[in-house]
Amino acid sequence: MSQWVIQGLRTGIKTTAYPREQESAAGVSPGRPIATELPEQDAESLSARCPTGALKNSREHLSVDFRRCIHCFRCARENSVSVRWEPGYEWAFMAGNNARGSGCLPRTFERSVHILVVDAGDCGACLNEVKQLNNPYYNFHRLGFFFTPSPRHADVLLVVGALAEQMRKPLQMAYDAMPAPKRVVAVGSCALTGGIFGPSFACAGAVSKLLPVDVEVPGNPPPPLAILHGLLLLTGRKASSFLDHDPAEQARFKLSKAS
Amino acid sequence: MALKLEQILKEASFARPVEPQIRWEDAARRVAQLECHSSALAELCGLLFSHCHLSFGGLIVEERAGFELRYVFYGDNDTPWIYVLARVGSAEQRVPSVSRFVHGADWHEREAEDLFGLIFEGHPRLGNFVLHDDVWPEGVAPMRKSFPACALDTHREKSRGWKPRRIVEADGAFVMPVGPFFSVATEPVHFVLETVGEDVIRAQPRLFYTYRGLEKIAEGRRAQDVVLLAERISATSAFAHSLAFCQAVEQIWKVEVPPRARALRVFFAELERLRHHVAAIEGICESTSFAVAAAQAAILQEDLLRICGSLSGHRYLFGLNAIGGLTLNPDDRMLRRAAAQVRQVAERLALLERMLNTSSSFLDRLEEVGVVRTQDAIDFGMVGPVGRASAVSRDLRKVQPYCGYDELDFETPYEPEGDGYARLRVFFKESFQSAQLIGAVAETVPKGSSRTDQAVVSPGAALGWVEAPAGAALHWIRLSEGGTVERYRIITPSFANWHAFRLAAENFAFQDFPIILATFALSVHENDR
Ligand code: SF4
């Protein structure tokens, strides 16, 4: 058995410095498209390429509703023009504006949050990225987050997937079985908008159609650090993604940056 | 050895005078279609399966002025794809079941019964399969053309309940329901485990909780957009499935994929296989609560995700495959750098294997546990590494080469024992082989572009296939004049292996159940679609 201890020591510490510092390793995030100033015509042609309607041509610039984006890269590759692509992963935001969300968890939860993960019909990418939070690179235990298999012990319901019809009942039952106070984190563009799957006869297309969502983490899939950002946001330890998903907000942000 | 199809058919004596018609679909004789009357189906399929030792790929049902049923078979090198085709009138809706002769067809028929409303006569168990009885009312057949894919909420049934079916009758017998959430961050599946004490006597999975109706929602979309759906069948095999889809469309549209794109496709497909297998190894370590080893494997998985991410922009290789090639053309230097990183991962993986092989407490949990005998694996049509651990080694990269796999030097590994340890060893061996193939491709990749937009957009149907990380994946596509999808049938390896899973789980102790499950490395998403 000693060989394992030695190997463990030889491996050294792999854990990211995030949230203390930003993580800069290659390949931790796919990045994302952001609002871009473009001539009318180019903006029009790019928005026509987007399969989910995430791109809108709104005068002088192309706005991005990142909640809808499925990372197909069509707006970034193989065209004469492309959208601006921003690295990073702090994408989560409070869904509080929709009046149903109930804000951050109380401070007592800061160092001990138990999370039930429910896959409500995704492709497995979001689920796998959620799982990575447990691996030595992200090791989210150090920040006081724990997975639990039981809704009775859960403070947070983390939902991935486009709300498949046959997952509605199990998901609702899990939510009902959780003690208050409880929060819902929706992870991935499918859980936010249905992504490429919904809405259809088989998928309702958004978790918020069934449950009150508190934090949304867009991305297809959002990388582990984006999900971690969502959890830190929920416990009041990180600020919301400042580039709001609302196209009007984006326009305002764009202007203030320019001036 | 070439299959003498004509001769075999001549010599076979059918109970009824039904002459199956052979039609070669192409000049190269790579696809043979045997059309027969539905009354001869079972016998003919049985003949191909047991007498000719072909593998049953899957059942493709299409609704086109009545129903067309294609039973797909494939064999060793030089054997063509064989489609057994039967037509059924739209009024009839009854087909004799072939699952008596070809057990692998069992679940395919149950699926078609649920989704198309066809009745398979003589099938012992129909209904409540893809569409759960407690969610959908009787008589819904979503794959029918008349069913609108966007029909929201019209079908949800409030009252019908569901109770697990019990089979075991004995003193003290009880049912242990497990799932759909049963551990941390698992894919949703429910198990009905019946037991009289220590051992699991019967293990029936209840799947399709994440049924997203992909085959249906693809209909009417442009082929270019359905690539995105194919990627999202299962993220752990995104590149493999999008490749199968693209290759089918490329056949129909007569697209000549540039040589560099073909080589790059091998590169990425093997990278994905490596990541899939490392995740499987991690799962096996985790299931035995061997946290230190699981952590070592987890590090390697994340390393591979990052290699994918920095090379292709996406950690799961989304947005990479396109009809006609790849959307990216990484230069040779990048490829070689990635291959060098992969080699390092493989070295660390080899170290992990050596250490696991000397950890007897770990091996004790795998050896002679969850055994699947070769004949059972053949009967159930098991595929991929899990099948190869029971000495069923047919590999589509070998028997129906694509993307230039026939020019690469590799042997498909297999193990005869069929237990959990054999499966672990196959995962390791294939991982090393993938790493080696990645290295070979990085050295020899031809120059040039990675995509062509030359295509003859035309209607037609074709089969695309790949050896996905979990095994044989077949995609049947029918395109319209305008390039939209009319029918998309997705046959996945996990579907076949889930069917066979109970073979391994039954008659072993409860505490072995999660370990056996992990050694199968099954994907629920790939199964459910
Ligand atoms: S990457 Fe996102 S925004 Fe760009 S075209 Fe694809 S879905 Fe639309």
| pLDDT tens column, B345-377 | 999 898 888 888 888 887 888 777 888 888 888
Q: B231 to chain A, minimum CA–CA distance in Å? A: 9
Report, as an integer, the average pLDDT of A213-223: 89
Instruction: Tell whether A119 lies on the interface with B, counting CB pairs under 8 A.
Output: yes
Which phi-psi region, left, alpha or beta, contains residue B503 (left: φ > 0; alpha: ψ -120 to 50)?
A: alpha
Q: What is the pLDDT of residue A50?
A: 87
Q: Separation of B319 CA from ligand 1 center, angstroms?
A: 10
The answer to whether position A73 is within a domain reads yes
Nearest to A27 among B155, B225, B306 (CB): B306
Choice between B137 and B445, residue whose per-residue pLDDT is larger: B445
Q: Is residue A20 part of a domain?
A: no
pLDDT band at B157 (very low <50, low <70, confident <90, very high): low
Of all residues in chain B, the percent with pLDDT exceeding 90 is: 19
The alpha carbon of B520 is separated from its chain's Cα centroid by a whole number of angstroms, namely: 13
pLDDT at A248 over 60: no
Amino acid at B380: F
Closest among A75, A52, A56, A72 to A64, alpha carbons compared: A56
- Mean pLDDT lowest for which of A101-110, A154-163, B432-441? A101-110
| Strand-strand pairing, B471-479 and A113-119 | unpaired
| A82 shares a domain with A162 | no
Interaxial angle between packed helices B291-312 and B332-357, expressed in degrees from 0 to 180 and rounded to the nearest 10: 170
**Quick one: closest CA in A to B140, which residue?**
A201
Same domain, A143 and A212: yes
Cα separation of B118 and B113, whole Å? 5
Q: Whose CA is nearest to atom 2 of ligand 1?
A: A69
CB A94 within 8 A of CB A233: yes
Say how far apart CA B70 and CA B41 lie, in whole Å.
Answer: 10
Q: How far is CA B107 from the centre of its chain?
A: 13
Provide the mean pLDDT of chain B: 84
Question: What tokens does A213 get?
Answer: 């969502």
CB pairs under 8 A between A and B: 203
Q: Are A69 and A141 part of one and the same domain?
A: no
Boundary (domain end) residue, out of A43, A60, A86: A86
Question: Which of A86, A104, A125 delimits the end of a domain?
Answer: A86
User: In terms of domains, do A101 and A60 share one?
Assistant: no
Residue A251, in any domain of the structure = no
- In angstroms, the CA B318 to CA A30 distance is 10
The answer to whether A185 touches A214, Cβ cutoff 8 Å, is yes
In a domain, A254, yes or no: no
Q: Tell me the average pLDDT across B96-102.
A: 85
Q: What is the pLDDT of residue A99?
A: 42
pLDDT in tens, A178-207: 888 888 999 998 888 888 887 888 888 888
Q: Ligand 1 centre and the CA of A46: distance in Å?
A: 9
| Chain B residues touching residue A3 (CB < 8 angstroms) | 355, 358
User: B374, exposed or middle or buried, with CB in 10 Å at 0-12, 13-18, 19+?
Assistant: middle
Same domain, A174 and A217: yes
pLDDT of residue A158: 93
Q: What are phi and psi of B366, to 5 degrees?
A: -105, -35
Q: Chain A partners of B355 at a C-beta cutoff of 8 Å?
A: 3-4, 7
Same domain, A50 and A121: no
A70 lines ligand 1 (CB under 6 A): yes
Do A51 and A101 reside in the same domain of the chain? no
Are A133 and A173 contained in the same domain? yes
pLDDT for B433: 92
Find the domain containing A101 and state its range.
93-240
pLDDT at B208 over 70: yes
- Check: CB of residue A223 under 8 Å from CB of residue A92: no
ipTM: 0.87
B255 three-state secondary structure: coil
Determine if the peptide bond prior to A19 is cis (ω within 30°). yes
* Per-residue pLDDT tens over the stretch B253-270: 888 889 999 999 999 999
**With an 8 Å Cβ cutoff, are B351 and A7 in contact?**
yes
Give chain A's domain count.
2
Distances (CA, A) of B401 to B59, B288, B406, B529: 22, 37, 6, 26
pLDDT of residue A159: 92
Cβ distance A27 to B309 less than 8 Å, yes or no, reads yes
Q: What is residue A257's predicted lDDT score, i.e. its pLDDT?
A: 46
Portion of chain B with pLDDT greater than 70, in percent: 94
Residues A73 and A177 in one domain: no
* CB–CB contact A125 B232 (8 Å): yes
Let me know if residue A27 belongs to a domain: no
- Distance separating alpha carbons of residues B338 and B274, to the nearest angstrom: 13
In a domain, A248, yes or no: no
Residue B79 Cα to ligand 1 midpoint, Å, equals 43
End-to-end alpha carbon distance in chain A: 63
Out of B150, B310, B313, the one facing A201 most closely (by C-beta) is B150
Mean pLDDT of A13-40: 82
H/E element holding B31?
A: strand B31-35
- Secondary-structure breakdown of chain A: helix, strand, coil percentages, each rounded to the nearest 5: 35, 15, 50
Least confident of A37-46, B468-477, B484-493: A37-46
Q: Are the beta carbons of A7 and B296 separated by less than 8 Å?
A: yes
- Asked whether residue A41 is domain-assigned, the answer is yes
Which tokens belong to A244? 């709001």
User: Which one of B134, B142, B355 has the shortest CB-CB distance to A3?
Assistant: B355
> Which residues 200-259 of A have a C-beta within 8 angstroms of B?
200-204, 220-221, 223
Query: Is residue A73 within 8 angstroms of chain B, CB to CB?
Result: yes
B184 pLDDT band, cuts 50/70/90, is confident
Min mean pLDDT across A66-80, B157-171, B316-330, B428-442 is at B157-171
- Provide the pLDDT confidence category of residue B427 given band limits of 50, 70 and 90: very high
- Collect contacts of B185-191 with beta carbons under 8 A, ≥24 apart: B185/A117, B185/A119, B185/A127, B185/A130, B185/A131, B185/A134, B185/A147, B186/A119, B187/A119, B187/A124, B187/A127, B187/B523, B187/B524, B187/B525, B188/A118, B188/A119, B188/A167, B188/A170, B188/B524, B189/B524
Query: How far, in Å, CA of B128 to CA of A76, rounded?
Result: 44
A183 bridge partner residues? A156
Contact flag B148-A201 (C-beta cutoff 8 Å): yes
Q: Is the pLDDT assigned to residue A258 strictly greater than 60?
A: no
User: Which of A3-17, A30-44, A50-64, B475-489 has maximum average pLDDT?
Assistant: B475-489
Contact status, residue A211 vs residue A158, Cβ threshold 8 Å: no
Beta strands in B151-270 (DSSP E): 174-178, 190-195, 199-206
**Predicted confidence (pLDDT) at residue A108 exceeds the cutoff of 80:** no
Indicate whether B129 pLDDT > 90. no
Q: Is residue A165 part of a domain?
A: yes
Whole-number Å distance, alpha carbon A221 to ligand 1 midpoint, is: 13
Query: Is B232 within 8 Å of A196 when comparing Cβ atoms?
Result: yes
Exposed (0-12), middle (13-18) or buried (19+): which is B204, by Cβ within 10 Å? middle
Q: What is the mean pLDDT of residues B397-409?
A: 84
- In this structure, the residue with its CA closest to atom 6 of ligand 1 is A72
pLDDT at B14: 64
Query: 43-62 in A: which are within 8 Å (CB) of B?
Result: 51
Q: What angle do helix axes B259-287 and B332-357 make, rounded to 10 degrees? A: 30
- Are residues A110 and A236 both part of a single domain? yes
- The answer to whether residue A87 scores a pLDDT higher than 90 is no
Is the Cβ–Cβ distance between B103 and B27 less than 8 Å? Answer: no
Higher pLDDT, B493 or B418: B493
Nearest residue CA, atom 5 of ligand 1?
A50
Three-class secondary structure of residue B376 per DSSP: helix
Q: What is the mean pLDDT of residues A65-69?
A: 86
| A112 lies in the same domain as A191 | yes
Lowest mean per-residue pLDDT among A255-259, B259-263, B411-415: A255-259
Please give the pLDDT value at position B1. 42
Q: Report pLDDT for A102.
A: 63
* CATH number where A101 lies: 3.40.50.12280
DSSP for residue B139: T
B67-81, B157-171, B476-490, B492-506: the lowest-pLDDT one:
B157-171
Task: Kindly tell me if the per-residue pLDDT of B160 is higher than 70.
Answer: no
Side-chain-facing half-sphere of A116: CA atoms under 13 Å: 28
What is the mean predicted confidence (pLDDT) over A4-29? Answer: 80
Same domain, A76 and A97: no
The strand order across the sheet containing B31-35 reads B21-24, B31-35, B81-88, B67-74, B55-63
CA distance to partner chain A, nearest, from residue B526 (Å): 8
